[in-house]
Amino acid sequence: GAQQKPADDVKSIKGQLYVAVKRELAVVQLGNTADAFAKQALAPLITPDTAVYQALEAEIFGPIG
């Protein structure tokens, strides 16, 4: 059967998210593609105080100390 995507799997819906945000906000500075949007608008939101950043840090670097 088809695999279920995790609820927080933004990568699988990036195209839909890009179109919806661009339409709802009526902005043009979000990049010309879903990938550009992810880099320009979403990536800066991942800061050291977010769970996503902390999970990535732990996954990439493992326990430090």
Mean pLDDT of 44-55: 93
Give the pLDDT band of residue 1 (cuts 50, 70, 90).
very low
Give the pLDDT band of residue 46 (cuts 50, 70, 90).
very high
The pTM of this model reads 0.56
Per-residue burial over 18-49, b = 16 or more CB atoms within 10 Å of its CB, e = otherwise: beeebeeeeeeebeeebeebbeebbeeeeeee
Average pLDDT, the chain: 83
Q: Is 24 left (phi over 0), alpha (psi -120 to 50) or beta?
A: alpha
How would DSSP label each residue in 31-55?
Answer: -SSHHHHIIIIIGGG--TTSHHHHH
Query: What pLDDT sits at residue 11?
Result: 78
